[in-house]
Amino acid sequence: MISVVINGEAREVPEGVRLDHLLELFSLPAKRVAVEVNKTVVRKVDWPVIKVSDGDRIEVVHFVGGG
């Protein structure tokens, strides 16, 4: 297992997990969300090829009400 921070929360995830599977692990939606790894956006087409590394800081965002 490796340690990552997802949306500000420390989590242990399997070594070698790729971004698309990471979202599935946490039951996160894949539609109309965006993912950033270490402050850089990762395009959705790249999710299946990008491996999560130990210490990565990952943000998964969607939309909520706002002004």
Partner 1 sequence: MSDTFTLGDSTFSSRLIIGTGKYRSYDEMKAAHAASGAEMVTVAVNRVPLDGKTESFLDHLDPKMKILPNTAGCYDADHAIRTARLAREALDTPWIKLEVIGDQITLLPDNEQTLAAAKVLVGEGFIVLPYFTDDLIMAKKLLDAGCPAVMPLAAPIGSGMGVQNPSNLRIMREQLPDATIIVDAGVGVPSDAAIAMELGADAILMNTAIAESRDPAAMATAMKLAVQAGRLAYLSGRMPKRLYASASSPLEGAIK
Chain residues binding partner 1 by CB under 8 A are 6-9, 11, 26-29, 31-36, 39, 41, 43-44, 59-67
DSSP result, 1-56: -EEEEETTEEEEE-TT-BHHHHHHHTT---TT-EEEETTEEE-GGGTTTPBP-TT-
Residue 19 CB neighbour total at 10 angstroms:
22
Min separation Cβ 42 and partner 1, Å: 8
Task: Give whichever of 26 and 53 is closer to partner 1, judged by the CB atom.
Answer: 26
Min separation Cβ 45 and partner 1, Å: 11
Min separation Cβ 56 and partner 1, Å: 15
